[in-house]
Amino acid sequence: MLAEIKGLNEECGVFGIWGHEKAAEITYYGLHALQHRGQDGAGVVTSDGERLKIHKDLGLVNDVFKNADFQDLQGNAAIGHVRYATQGDGGIDNIQPLLFRSQTGSVALAHNGNIMNAYKLRGELERDGSIFQTTSDTEVLAHLIKRNSTSDYETALMEALRSLVGAYAFLIMKENKLYIATDPRGLRPISIGRLGGAYVVASETCAFDLVGASFEREVIPGELVVIDNNGISSKKFADAEPRTMCAMEYVYFSRPDSNVNRVNVHASRKKMGIELAKESPVEADVVTGVPDSSISAAIGYAEQSGLPYELGLIKNRYVGRTFIQPSQDLREQGVKMKLSPVRGIVEGKRVIMIDDSIVRGTTSKRIVRMLKDAGALEVHVRIASPPITNPCYYGIDMSTKEELIAANYSLYGMAKLIGADSLAYLSEEGLKRAIVREDLPHQGICTACFTGEYPVIEKGQKTIEYTKC
Amino acid sequence: MLAEIKGLNEECGVFGIWGHEKAAEITYYGLHALQHRGQDGAGVVTSDGERLKIHKDLGLVNDVFKNADFQDLQGNAAIGHVRYATQGDGGIDNIQPLLFRSQTGSVALAHNGNIMNAYKLRGELERDGSIFQTTSDTEVLAHLIKRNSTSDYETALMEALRSLVGAYAFLIMKENKLYIATDPRGLRPISIGRLGGAYVVASETCAFDLVGASFEREVIPGELVVIDNNGISSKKFADAEPRTMCAMEYVYFSRPDSNVNRVNVHASRKKMGIELAKESPVEADVVTGVPDSSISAAIGYAEQSGLPYELGLIKNRYVGRTFIQPSQDLREQGVKMKLSPVRGIVEGKRVIMIDDSIVRGTTSKRIVRMLKDAGALEVHVRIASPPITNPCYYGIDMSTKEELIAANYSLYGMAKLIGADSLAYLSEEGLKRAIVREDLPHQGICTACFTGEYPVIEKGQKTIEYTKC
Amino acid sequence: MLAEIKGLNEECGVFGIWGHEKAAEITYYGLHALQHRGQDGAGVVTSDGERLKIHKDLGLVNDVFKNADFQDLQGNAAIGHVRYATQGDGGIDNIQPLLFRSQTGSVALAHNGNIMNAYKLRGELERDGSIFQTTSDTEVLAHLIKRNSTSDYETALMEALRSLVGAYAFLIMKENKLYIATDPRGLRPISIGRLGGAYVVASETCAFDLVGASFEREVIPGELVVIDNNGISSKKFADAEPRTMCAMEYVYFSRPDSNVNRVNVHASRKKMGIELAKESPVEADVVTGVPDSSISAAIGYAEQSGLPYELGLIKNRYVGRTFIQPSQDLREQGVKMKLSPVRGIVEGKRVIMIDDSIVRGTTSKRIVRMLKDAGALEVHVRIASPPITNPCYYGIDMSTKEELIAANYSLYGMAKLIGADSLAYLSEEGLKRAIVREDLPHQGICTACFTGEYPVIEKGQKTIEYTKC
Amino acid sequence: MLAEIKGLNEECGVFGIWGHEKAAEITYYGLHALQHRGQDGAGVVTSDGERLKIHKDLGLVNDVFKNADFQDLQGNAAIGHVRYATQGDGGIDNIQPLLFRSQTGSVALAHNGNIMNAYKLRGELERDGSIFQTTSDTEVLAHLIKRNSTSDYETALMEALRSLVGAYAFLIMKENKLYIATDPRGLRPISIGRLGGAYVVASETCAFDLVGASFEREVIPGELVVIDNNGISSKKFADAEPRTMCAMEYVYFSRPDSNVNRVNVHASRKKMGIELAKESPVEADVVTGVPDSSISAAIGYAEQSGLPYELGLIKNRYVGRTFIQPSQDLREQGVKMKLSPVRGIVEGKRVIMIDDSIVRGTTSKRIVRMLKDAGALEVHVRIASPPITNPCYYGIDMSTKEELIAANYSLYGMAKLIGADSLAYLSEEGLKRAIVREDLPHQGICTACFTGEYPVIEKGQKTIEYTKC
């Protein structure tokens, strides 16, 4: 499953609010709803109209704001961020929002995505005498704006955005303005909602549900939304290309209760399961899903196939990040970590195991063995998305093609490798049928990791030293 | 649902092992599997044959053993405990295992259950000059044994057990022996398994699955099991009464992947849903369950009724104990805490909402409103167990009859109170059909909280100042 | 110096107050003044007349009460304790005050001293069925009282005290009474003072100065003082033997600003220096003292000899307990820890170095070398107390005679061993002249560690497994 | 005394080393010796020739490196810093060393002093597009260098130094070089030493003593010292003005065991006491000093006057930063904080109380009252430096003239205000006699705060938003 590579299965999440007297607290709750998008760091910046204040740290939202005195985070506006950290990415400095102060004012940035030409842009800025504070690609935008000698902030911002190549959703807050921008293809989700008289912004709509806000609309590719005390307005900083929302948002990243680009994620996953059952049925006794992300698809598969959905695998909810990993010999003796098979369910049964995806195959292999050790007679693996055969350059850390099992083995070879009695993937068409709603505008998904057809490519960029998101 | 009263929905959990060189680590993993039974404190005592060593603290297993050097917990034997804490119960002192040292040797106790005559016994012991260290009812057993002038520990232990009234499963470890005892009715689950050459004991079999052990047998009511380096033996300290396993272990407490008294919990819950669908069908569009404990029953109901099971409610996984609760005004504005409705699923639908039980009704009322606010046209509440009309004296903190909504309102009155369009409970017969396996020995459940027929009663006990479990 | 053996240079400290609405806070400040007597743990128990409340933990007073909400420590009465911990003494359980609750009331104990027959008494109590909670000798007193079937607490307490052998000062608090008791020889200091309408008790009078209380009197050997809301009264539980106050209280333990048995400690130390200069003069350029405990004696020596007192050695104030000790090779390269020589002062000089005592000699050797490495031409060591040749059984952890350098070497041998150009000790008579005030009652010191003449001896006691104080 | 205003009595401290395989550890020990110069934050940056690594945090050196794995701070070179923090100075970001990374290399800065034109320089740099990371005046130097388009780092550094106005001692480390620079008047002490084959640098020589290094020389005003693997070299970046070492380094800041500008601090303080006794004798019984900084002067005064030096005031060593301050009513009842009078010493005596300085007078008033409350018949205050009548612009936070009592009252008025029976200050000439050694080069002190004659003044600078040091 996609969770098998650390850093591969996680995006960042952003939340913002303008015009609410408890801006910091609402943002705190909003970040809770987005916690699954980044569990290594969190932060909030508020504006009281005159000053920006910040609180951020490593850890879960709960940990970061454990002793939070929201008294210190005054103001009617706030932006927040949750992120995941990859090795060597500079610790707390890279946690967002990034906040830059100067004698003439401050600006805070929160970003979800990946700037592909960040290394090149930073090199140019450094040669001109700029000093960077982080290794985050997000900081490049701040310097591009600052270096622009135009006196108009908005013009400088739009020019800076135009020089970026990549997939991004930005929240940019000054003392008296909140800007929202997304790339010309709209690869990353970002929505606007209302909470009483206030405006809210979030990577996923589940954050609106949690704080009691109502969904208003999605930000359009290439759009710059400006919110201030006079209300909301919209500009176009670039021509919108056809929308190519990241398909993985539906397959894995987003919460099932979110609507991404107006499509409910749980519903789309259930449809993936239904399509998969149509395309690749198999004789069996029970259908089970790998928790948590594959449960919806498994229920869909069961409904369509008429087989009972059962709880064949269970996830240990209390295995936190301080969990002491079992040593090699204990693992060999059978000590499980996160996932356990339910012997009472699978013993003596032919099991259809639904998963969202396969990356390197090692996890799938482990789960299949687990089920067989618990007495499953047969294990038929069904994957609710197409084979991943290409790396992603837009923010998902899939590294190299060499690591992707589907890029290197035949279907039969993979089945053998993971020990499954049969293996099938959902087709690209099946995936599109499950996600794309013909009746809605701005639909369309990015399937580059399945097809190798990338919607935007900047040749020769060096991303390896960069911290995404 | 049962989770609505803090301390009401939680039991303790015990784990033990004899004859494994990594006894402490195995116990650590075993306690992880039992974490849901008690999240306020955890501890492990090991024996190396000559000395007992202890590590315990407030918090989750992960927190307590965060920096654990298992080097300090040497020995081939160990017992562990997870507990929930009620207000004013003395903090860390009451965390188990309790360890008592004397010049002639040490003894450690871990207990799941409730000693109903503990207050009376303690009073007698104090009058004779004993000083107690904790406010836990578990300590009474240690003093009863110590006060017995017989030179034989086992005899003293059996005499002490006979003077206890209540529901209990005890692990008692000395330097060179591990004792396991359960009350004459077997109200609390306790099973024995094998892990290579070692014996393991646990409140639930899911702990065996996690550490890779195989289930051997349940401890029989009134039985004292003795394990030492010579092997395992069994004594009868009291005549076994008919088994009355706590029904709530199936309905709520135990993990779905556990077998309690040889019956799989998920399977029994699914059957509760099936029986409930047979008894109380209703026209609707979707079936949804209150996560996590009611999901299995909801799937069963959906399967039987032919309606689609959908994810109408979602639980926020990251709301930990440091979560800052929203203030009253934010709650009124709609900020949710643990549970959110999925608007995309329930909007415009007639929803059947399956829950495991209703205690005070406040939570049910909140969830029904949540679903309606998210657009549900109708909400039909179906409860997968009978109405709780009587307090429990065996370890579940249901307080007084006055608080139990079902003891004070008609079905119609309750439906109105919680705002449901209809309400139905599973019958006692339906519950028994879902749980009791006629083909197995020692079956039988305690349904006292539904019926008021208590299997054991000690009149006039004063339990209020006591810490159970 | 005496500080050279961990645990050897430290006593415990007790503080109590009756009749002040901020009893817990006053005790907190009082314990600060006594912090030097025990830096490993601290605790406070309060009484509001109906309930005792406790807060205690490992660490300095500051750490233990870091987040203290004194709101939780209500009541007009309190006792507190600071202690030092020796290895294997059971951690937090042994931190005092010890608090014992029963169905009929609670009692708290705080103790400074050593019960020599504790092991024997505990063995007897355990054989009769008592279970101990700690490895502290203090707990024996609680059980002795509890076991006494007399209905009168005070009678039971006095009988229990009479069965103790050793050096002790006890504070015992019940809901409505505070008892103070000291052993029949009065080996440990304990004084009573007044703070407005309240009574205060402390191991040292410096605690009175810090909280603004005035000294009233010392507790008399063999006396039981009883304080309650009706005032103060005194009983004699044993015939007073001649006072033998521990001489080390003057030489090392107590703060220079305290009066012990009505004699100011700084003044007595300065007189030790004066007597020492009279007994053992030597030609030199400067006098310096080993900080902090030998500074007063060094100033006395300088005054008497007419030589300038200079700051030849300096102590690093910021070396706390988390200090990372320099590795062996760094120490050999010259990295110092706590103490540094002042090159600008000692270079090219003949130095008289005053220390309070020599135990094993290793520290003295290190300091002499340090001074010579910094350029001192000669180092003449003068010790402001007699040679320690015998172990102490009254609470000071000097272990065995084999470790005491003065018990095994001649004066010349010692001087050679520590590298001093000359070495002299103060005589026993000189010490007595410096301390004992003929004009005051109840004077007299214990010099057993110098002379081997022990004022109280219980033969054959096994103290090694016991936690003193 | 000078300690009475938080932030007023503290400087920063720097330490560096080049060519030692345990560079980080040596720096850790060196910073311990300098801890008194800044207790709010500490940090170390190392270089292994290719990469700079950093560890820094709020707190004492002990706290910051509590769990330090020096394995992570590899390299043969290191610089370290201890600092004090003033309110609103941006928290951890401002802790030094500051580390700046770029695609072409990194640079770390540690600074003791105050750049008076920092605000102006920063404004210019920001207008040209630079983004600052901290509010520290130290960062300005980094940007000045980076902005310089010259290809030679050393040239850019010297040009940047020339644009600074103020009092400073800088350590600047790149991967393969260590630079040391001090301002053209040499207001802040900085010395070079040897430790085996390695070079060490420190604000005070006491750091050399602690790590076992030998003093080599002071850095000359206006000098840039360059150390690399080829050895040490020296350049002159500005013409040296006459040396004006801050007099307060002798009076208050530096440790008594340090030599500042080759003059031992304890010796100079003792001479201040001697000069003071000559200038302002008074009939009395005892001489006492306010600990710790006035003890040396008090001993000098006692020696010169023939009166006994006694311990009339004692400092509570264990009052840390988590100390809970007594409430107003407890203070009024007499609860002391840091300092206690020794009743046994001062009662019935005429006391001469030596202090290093008076700033606002509130502390002096409190101490005089304390001594009188403890029974002193007369209190004669003697100050071992001249009256402070002018603010300092070089790094000492004395704020405005309005707060300085000596700038607003006559000697008689001050005596009355603080309740002293007499008051006298050391003359400026007396101070110079005590400090300046005619036989050594580069002597000379800054006495601006006594005389108002400032050696360097930049008109109109706005320092208030700046973090010094």
Task: Retrieve residue C307's tokens.
Answer: 């030589």
User: Regarding predicted confidence, which is higher, D424 or B62?
Assistant: D424
Query: Two tokens at B82?
Result: 């997870």
Q: CA of C149 to nearest chain B CA: how many angstroms apart?
A: 8
Q: Quick check: B271 contacting A, CB < 8 Å?
A: no
Minimum-distance CB partner of D122 among A100, A103, A142:
A103
Structure tokens at C342: 């002042």
CB proximity B143 to C under 8 Å = yes
* pTM for this predicted structure: 0.82
**8 Å CB contact of D130 and A126:** no
Indicate where chain B has its CATH 3.60.20.10 domain(s).
3-253
Higher model confidence: residue B332 or residue B178? B178
Amino acid letter at B39?
Answer: Q
Max CA separation in chain B (angstroms): 73
* Nearest chain B residue to A299, by CA: B309
Q: How many CB atoms lie within 10 A of CB B57?
A: 14
Tokens standing for D45? 């940056």
| The pLDDT value given to residue C292 | 85
- Is the confidence at residue B397, as pLDDT, over 60? no
φ/ψ of D383, rounded to 5, equals: -105, 125
- CATH 3.40.50.2020 placement within chain A: 268-316+324-434
Residue A396, pLDDT score:
58
**A328 Cβ neighbours under 8 A, 6+ residues apart:** none
Q: Is B187 exposed, middle or buried (0-12, 13-18, 19+ CB in 10 A)?
A: buried
Q: What is the pLDDT of residues A292-326, one digit of tens each?
A: 889 999 999 999 999 989 889 988 776 665 667 77
- The pLDDT value recorded for residue B67 is 60
CA distances from C426 to B372, C277, C282, C365 (A): 90, 9, 14, 19
Per-residue pLDDT of chain A (469 residues; tens, 9 = 90+): 444 444 343 479 999 999 999 999 999 999 999 999 998 899 999 999 999 999 999 888 988 987 566 888 999 999 999 997 654 465 778 899 999 999 989 999 999 998 889 999 999 999 999 999 988 889 999 999 999 877 799 999 999 999 999 899 999 999 999 999 999 999 999 999 999 999 999 999 999 988 989 999 999 999 999 999 999 999 999 987 889 999 999 999 999 989 999 999 999 999 999 999 999 999 999 999 998 889 999 999 999 999 989 889 988 776 665 667 778 887 777 777 778 888 888 999 999 999 999 988 988 999 999 999 989 999 999 999 999 998 887 655 555 677 888 999 999 999 999 999 999 999 999 999 999 988 887 789 999 889 988 876 554 444 444 565 6
Across the interface, of C25, C256, C303, the residue whose CB is closest to D330 is C25
D132 Cβ under 8 Å from any chain A Cβ: yes
Q: CB under 8 Å to D230, separation ≥6 — which residues?
A: none
CA separation for the pair C222, C186 (Å, rounded):
7
Kindly indicate the confidence band of residue C7, based on its pLDDT and cuts at 50, 70 and 90: very low
Q: Find all residues with CB under 8 Å of C352, minimum gap 6, and list them.
A: C282, C284, C286, C287, C288, C301, C305, C307, C380, C382
Is residue C469 a known part of a binding site?
A: no
Q: Find, among C312, C232, C220, C166, the residue nearest to C16 by Cα.
A: C232
Mean pLDDT, chain A, rounded, equals 88
Task: List pLDDT tens digits, range C72-89.
Answer: 899 999 999 999 765 445
- Rounded (5°) CA angle B319-B324-B326: 100
In this prediction, residue C468 carries a pLDDT of 58
Report the pLDDT value the prediction gives residue B73, as an integer from 0 to 100: 93
Give the whole-angstrom CA distance, residue C435 versus residue C263: 7
- Phi/psi for A96 (5° steps) reads -105, 165
Yes or no: say if A339 and A370 are a contact pair by the CB < 8 Å rule: yes
Ranges of chain D with pLDDT below 50:
1-10, 87-88, 459-465
Give the pairing type, strands B191-195 and B214-218: antiparallel
Sheet of A350-355: strands edge to edge?
A286-289, A350-355, A378-383, A422-425
Residue of C194 and B148 predicted with greater confidence? C194
- When CB atoms are compared, the residue of C101, C126, C149 closest to B102 is C126
Q: Say what the pLDDT of residue B6 is.
A: 40
- Nearest-Cα distance to chain A for D146, in Å, is 5
Q: Which of B131, B151, B153 has the highest number of chain C CBs within 10 A, making it the mutation to test binding with C?
A: B131
Q: What is the pLDDT of residue C323?
A: 66
Number of residues in chain C: 469
> What's the rounded Cα separation, in Å, for the pair B467 and B111?
11
Chains D and B touch (3+ CB pairs under 8 A): no
Contact at CB, D129 and A126, closer than 8 angstroms:
no
Per the listing, tokens 């990371």 go with D133
Strands D286-289 and D350-355: parallel
Which position has the token pair 């109906």? C50
Residue A317 to residue B26, Cβ atoms within 8 A = no
Question: Is residue D61 within a helix (H) or strand (E), and if so which, with residue range?
Answer: helix D61-64
Judge whether residue C317 has pLDDT over 80. no
In Å, how far is B5's CA from the nearest CA of chain C? 26
The contacts of residue A89 (CB under 8 Å, 6+ apart) are A135, A136, A467
- For residue D94, give the 3-state DSSP assignment: helix
Chains that touch A (3 or more CB pairs under 8 A): B, D
> Which residues make Cβ contacts (< 8 Å) with residue B152, sequence separation at least 6?
none
Residue with tokens 């395992």: B232
Dihedral of CA C277/C281/C284/C288: which sign?
negative
Please name the residues in contact with D80: beta carbons below 8 A apart, sequence gap of 6 or more: D14, D15, D16, D27, D28, D30, D31, D42, D43, D44, D45, D97, D110
Other C-beta atoms lying within 10 Å of the C-beta of residue D373: 14
A267 touches chain B (CB under 8 A): yes
One-letter amino acid at D109 equals L
Interchain pair C25, D322: CB under 8 A: no
Question: Residue A468: what pLDDT?
Answer: 58
Reported confidence tier of residue C437, pLDDT bands at 50, 70, 90: confident
Shortest Cα distance, chain A CAs vs residue B40, angstroms: 13
Is residue A12 annotated as part of the catalytic site, yes or no? Answer: yes
Assign domain A3-253 to its CATH superfamily: Aminohydrolase, N-terminal nucleophile (Ntn) domain (3.60.20.10)
H/E element, D344:
helix D343-346
Mean of the per-residue pLDDT values of chain C: 88
- The answer, for D314 touching chain C at a CB cutoff of 8 Å, is yes
Angle in degrees, 0-180, between the axes of helices A153-162 and A138-147, rounded to the nearest 10: 130
Could D62 and C319 be called an inter-chain contact, meaning their C-beta atoms sit closer than 8 Å? yes
Within 8 A of A56 by CB-CB distance, chain D residues are none
Q: A195: distance to nearest CA of chain B, Å?
A: 8
Q: Are D276 and D302 in contact (CB under 8 A)?
A: no
How confident is the model over C46-50, as a mean pLDDT? 97
Where is average pLDDT lowest: B379-393, C274-288, D447-461?
D447-461
Contact C78, C44 (CB under 8 A): yes
What is the per-residue pLDDT for B412?
95
Question: Using the beta-carbon criterion (under 8 Å), do C340 and D212 form an inter-chain contact?
Answer: no
* Pair of tokens at residue A60: 């879960």
CATH of D268-316+324-434, one of 3.30.1360.120, 3.40.50.2020, 3.30.530.20, 3.40.640.10: 3.40.50.2020
Around Cβ D220, how many Cβ atoms within 10 Å? 17
Q: Is the dihedral of CA A89, A90, A93, A98 positive or negative?
A: negative
The three-class DSSP label of residue C270 is helix
DSSP bridge pairs for C105: C102
Catalytic residue among C5, C12, C125, C367: C12
Chain B interface includes C230 (CB < 8 A): no
Report DSSP letters for B103-163, one per residue: TTEEEEEEEEEEETTHHHHHHHHHHTT--BS-SBTHHHHHHHHHH---S-HHHHHHHHHHT
At residue D296, the 3 state secondary structure works out as: helix
Q: Which of A12, A172, A178, A187 is catalytic?
A: A12
The DSSP line for C355-366 is ES--SSSHHHHH
Q: How far is CA C90 from the centre of its chain?
A: 21
- Tens digit of pLDDT for each residue in B96-144? 999 999 998 999 999 999 898 999 999 999 999 999 998 888 999 999 9
B149 touches chain C (CB under 8 A): yes
Q: Which residues of A touch D136 (CB under 8 A)?
A: none
Residue C136's CB: how many other CB atoms inside 10 A?
A: 24
**B120 contacts chain C (CB < 8 A):** no
Is some CB atom of chain B closer than 8 A to the CB atom of C133? yes
Tokens of A175: 């003392």
Task: Name the catalytic one among D1, D2, D12, D125.
Answer: D12
Instruction: List the structure tokens of C287.
Output: 């006098």
| Amino acid in the structure at residue C25 | E
CA distances for A261 relative to A218, B164, C334, angstroms: 7, 63, 68
Q: Are C29 and C13 in contact (CB under 8 A)?
A: no
Which of C73, C286, C342 to probe the D interface (max D CBs under 10 A)?
C342
Least confident of C31-35, C313-317, D289-293: C313-317
The answer to whether A35 contacts chain B (CB < 8 Å) is: yes
- In terms of CA atoms, which chain A residue is nearest residue D139? A131
D449 marked ligand binding residue? yes
- Least confident range from B36-50, B384-398, C357-371, D289-303: namely B384-398
CB atoms within 10 A of CB A45: 30
- Tokens at B41, concatenated: 């404190």
Which of D40, D254, D260, D322 best probes binding to C when mutated, by most C CB atoms within 10 angstroms? D322
Amino acid in the structure at residue A334: G
